[in-house]
């Protein structure tokens, strides 16, 4: 075994680590050298969003000590930033195995550093954590979750005083402080227990009241209160708030998927607790079909992602993709606010660079400002903060099944999104239509946009290098054509430069640096390449469009757009 790994193992065996941890390491020494090496060969990186990894002993795993080091570094940065001011932080956790333990560990370290902690009494959704930071005037927050990852994972998302995840300069500065923690003896685990306050019901009620205020047409809900809703929390935190918020909205016919209603970190009914996956939503789809429901909604374990199922134009139950859900939500908030007479001249919506261009088109045709930011809701939150008092944020969304309605939560929020989607379904039902009917109408009005993505993994030791070489090749020698259409624009977010490939003219990109490349073709297609920062993976996002004259053309045009993306993938040799 690698000498550096053996040295780390000895540090843990001889240091001030608990006996259960040492015993687990000794068992790995006897029984599983591969796992031992995996657990210690690297230090689990505190990235710009926090920690995420497999649970277990060792420097490369999520455990009491890696969580403790992260929290000690975060505490040190808060102290340096706010000095003698009173510092308050909020802490929440999801349903994953050990999440409560990690949340209590985090609370203990903050408290031992003289920081006032508000710890939720039991599991709560990530968006409620974002909400409570602003509601209680906290300087920061943490939620212990690994979002939609498999059951072996857990994580630690770090938030700042605006309720958004860390952005520059705080993200990099916190990373430096975490990396400066030399070892277990630098962590204060105990001694501040009196600084911890348990919170719960009162925050649930405040959040619910806030979410209820996002409704545009409560009078429509009153008429369609018996809208048949099927909801699955997929063994996660959504069960704590979704029923409460839907009841506050006035909905009276909620049918929870009982097989997935109980919070359970083993996620016994699914392989991946991700509402993007058809298999994950299959039990909900079956229940929706059996009940002849009007809408199906599902939320991931920390309830920041929402999946939506509806009946299509043929009466078949289908899951919408994240772009379709975002298009419906953004169009509703823009159009409904206008028709209700509550739209403001300075209304704005925000989306991301890999999300459908259709949102930009809807905003443009309705004279609403639309901003495009880097991937991730922390950048949407940052845009809101930047324009606070100047422009009125209405809604934001991205392709990865995330929506954020109103500005009192500064991260993607599946709780308020479920309520909004149900209100939209009620609004259409009152007109004798479905959400899918509305989607087709939007395609006719604004253009038929269709998106898809693929993720390519390069395995082995050279995986990261192969992906880096791929990006270098695209930068140095961008394709002249893609699937028969000339590439007219190259956008390089790492170099922060855009280039007109027809004229050679360049122009600056003002967004922060990010290793993303985009190719825009003459026919309006957009292809984005975005490597993962932590895994040997690269995602390719495809957006194509056409016109839709009438509903009768839908199936033919839809098949054509699907075929076009398949052709682009083949032409770019991405299989």
Q: What is the DSSP string of 20-67?
A: HHHHHHHHHHHH-HHHHHHHHSSPPP-BTTEEEEEBSSSTTSBSHHHH
pLDDT in tens, 213-238: 999 999 999 999 999 999 999 999 99
| Domain 207-446 = CATH 3.40.120.10 | yes
- Whether 72 and 182 have beta carbons less than 8 Å apart is answered as no
Question: Nearest 5°: CA angle at 329, between 326 and 335?
Answer: 130
The token pair at 483 is 């699937």
> What per-residue confidence (pLDDT) applies to 87?
98
Residues of the chain with pLDDT under 70: 460-461, 533-535
**341 Cβ contact list (under 8 Å, min separation 6):** none
* Euclidean distance between the first and the last CA atom of the chain, given in angstroms as a whole number: 36
Averaged pLDDT of the chain: 96
> What per-residue confidence (pLDDT) applies to 575?
75
> What per-residue confidence (pLDDT) applies to 460?
65
State how far the Cα of 29 lies from the Cα of 14, in Å rounded to an integer: 15
Question: Per-domain residue ranges for the chain?
Answer: 1-41, 46-199, 207-446, 450-571
* Of 412, 529, 411, the residue nearest 164 (C-alpha): 411
- The answer to whether 543 is a known catalytic residue is no
**Helix residue spans in 143-293 (DSSP H):** 170-179, 201-212, 218-223, 242-249, 282-291
Candidate list 147, 400, 525, 528, residue with the active-site label: 147
The token pair at 520 is 């825009």
> What per-residue confidence (pLDDT) applies to 1?
73
Q: What is the CATH number of domain 450-571?
A: 3.30.310
pLDDT in tens, 383-405: 999 999 999 999 999 999 999 99
Q: Which fold has domain 46-199?
A: Alpha-D-Glucose-1,6-Bisphosphate; Chain A, domain 3 (3.40.120)
**53 Cβ contact list (under 8 Å, min separation 6):** 44, 60, 61, 62, 66, 153, 154, 155
Positive or negative torsion for Cα 538, 490, 325, 349 = positive
> What per-residue confidence (pLDDT) applies to 45?
86
Please state the three-class secondary structure of 534-575 as a single string.
Answer: CCCEEEEEEEEEECCCCHHHHHHHHHHHHHHHHHHHHHCCCC
207-446 has the same fold as 46-199: yes
Q: How buried is 127 (Cβ within 10 angstroms: 0-12 exposed, 13-18 middle, 19+ buried)?
A: buried
Q: How many helices (H) and strands (E) does the chain have?
A: 18, 23
**Strand-pair partners of 351:** 372, 397
């Amino acid at each position: 075994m690698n000498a550096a790994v053996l040295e780390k193992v000895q540090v843990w065996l001889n240091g001030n680590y608990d006996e259960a941890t040492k015993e687990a390491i000794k068992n790995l020494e006897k029984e599983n050298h591969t796992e031992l090496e995996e657990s210690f060969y690297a230090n689990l990186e505190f990235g710009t969003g926090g920690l995420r990894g497999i649970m277990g002993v060792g420097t490369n795993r999520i455990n009491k000590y890696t969580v403790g080091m992260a929290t000690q570094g975060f505490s040190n940065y808060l102290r340096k930033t706010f000095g003698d001011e009173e510092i308050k932080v909020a802490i929440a956790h999801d349903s994953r195995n050990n999440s409560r333990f990690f949340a209590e560990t985090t609370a203990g370290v903050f408290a031992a550093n003289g920081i006032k902690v508000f710890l939720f009494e039991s599991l709560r959704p990530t968006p409620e954590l974002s909400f409570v930071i602003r509601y209680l005037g906290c300087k920061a927050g943490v939620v212990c979750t690994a979002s939609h990852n498999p059951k072996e994972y857990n994580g630690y998302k770090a938030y700042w005083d605006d309720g958004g995840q860390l952005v520059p300069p705080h993200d990099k500065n916190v990373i430096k402080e975490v990396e400066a923690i030399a070892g277990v003896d630098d962590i204060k685990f105990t001694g501040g227990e009196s600084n911890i306050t348990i919170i719960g019901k009162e925050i649930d009620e405040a959040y619910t009241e806030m979410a209820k205020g996002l409704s545009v047409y409560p009078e429509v809900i009153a008429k369609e209160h018996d809208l048949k809703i099927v909801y699955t929390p997929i063994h996660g935190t959504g069960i704590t708030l979704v029923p409460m918020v839907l009841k506050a909205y006035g909905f009276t016919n909620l049918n929870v998927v009982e097989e997935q209603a109980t919070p359970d970190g083993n996620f016994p009914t699914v392989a991946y607790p991700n509402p993007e996956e058809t298999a994950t939503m299959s039990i909900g789809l079956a229940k929706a079909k059996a009940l002849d429901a009007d809408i199906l909604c599902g939320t991931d374990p920390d309830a920041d992602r929402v999946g939506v199922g509806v009946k299509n134009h043929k009466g078949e139950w289908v899951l919408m993709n994240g772009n379709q859900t975002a298009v419906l939500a953004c169009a509703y908030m823009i159009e409904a606010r206008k028709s209700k007479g509550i739209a403001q001249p300075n209304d704005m919506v925000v989306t991301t660079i890999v999300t459908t261009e259709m949102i930009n088109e809807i905003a443009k045709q309705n004279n609403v400002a639309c901003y495009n930011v880097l991937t991730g809701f922390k950048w949407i939150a940052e845009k809101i903060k930047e324009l606070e008092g100047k422009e009125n944020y209405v809604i934001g969304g991205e392709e990865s099944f995330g929506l954020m309605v109103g500005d009192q939560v500064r991260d993607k929020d599946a709780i308020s999104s479920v309520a909004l989607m149900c209100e939209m379904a009620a609004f259409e039902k009152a007109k004798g239509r479905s959400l899918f009917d509305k989607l087709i109408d939007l395609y006719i009005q604004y253009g038929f946009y269709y998106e898809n993505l693929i993720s390519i993994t390069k395995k082995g030791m050279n995986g990261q290098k192969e992906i880096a070489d791929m990006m270098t090749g695209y930068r140095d020698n961008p394709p002249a054509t893609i699937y028969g259409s000339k590439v007219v624009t190259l956008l390089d977010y790492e170099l922060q430069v855009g280039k007109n490939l027809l004229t050679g003219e360049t122009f600056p990109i003002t967004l922060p640096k990010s290793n993303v490349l985009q190719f825009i073709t003459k026919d309006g297609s957009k292809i984005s390449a975005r490597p993962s920062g932590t895994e040997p993976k690269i995602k390719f996002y495809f957006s194509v469009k056409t016109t839709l004259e009438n509903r009768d053309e839908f199936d033919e045009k839809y098949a054509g757009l699907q075929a076009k993306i398949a052709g682009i993938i083949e032409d770019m040799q991405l299989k």
